[in-house]
Amino acid sequence: MEEVSIRTQEHQAFYDITGKVQSVVRERGVEDGVCVVFSPHTTAGVTLNENWDESVQHDMGLGLNAISPSRSEYRHGEGNSPAHLKTSLIGSSEMIFIEGGELVLGRWQGIYLAEFDGPRSRKVFVKVLAGSA
């Protein structure tokens, strides 16, 4: 298991970690397998989405704010319940196949740490499982 560190700068933003994950895969030298990227946080998740036009990430953040706003009935004292809910909606991990030693991503797909309660020091764990049937 490798740890990748990310220092987030915003309260909410998507950070492209594709290059860092690909580096871990290359170091492992696995030709065929699966790479798992996992966030150990409860207010930051991992997702795959478009890496070409940054406005997609802007729009996703805006849409998530509309889906999971602050609500007066919320009880959690830290006030970050909207971030907890966003994390469970987006998810804590992604799996990406490895073929020929490289991540198999779609043409427009990047791997993102989704920060919902920053800025903070975050990390993701990366594990490479070798082999397939």
Site for a copy of itself in 42-101 (CB under 8 A): 42, 47-50, 53, 55-56, 58-60, 62-64, 66-68, 71, 73-78, 81-82, 84-85, 87-97, 99
What residues contact residue 81 under an 8 Å CB cut-off, 6+ apart? 70, 71, 74
CB of 9 to a copy of itself, least distance (A): 20
CA–chain centroid gap for 129, Å, is 19
The answer to whether the beta carbons of residues 35 and 103 sit under 8 Å apart is yes
- Euclidean distance between the first and the last CA atom of the chain, given in angstroms as a whole number: 22
Q: Which residues bind a copy of itself (CB under 8 A)?
A: 1, 28-30, 33-34, 36, 38-42, 47-50, 53, 55-56, 58-60, 62-64, 66-68, 71, 73-78, 81-82, 84-85, 87-97, 99, 104-109, 114, 125, 127-133
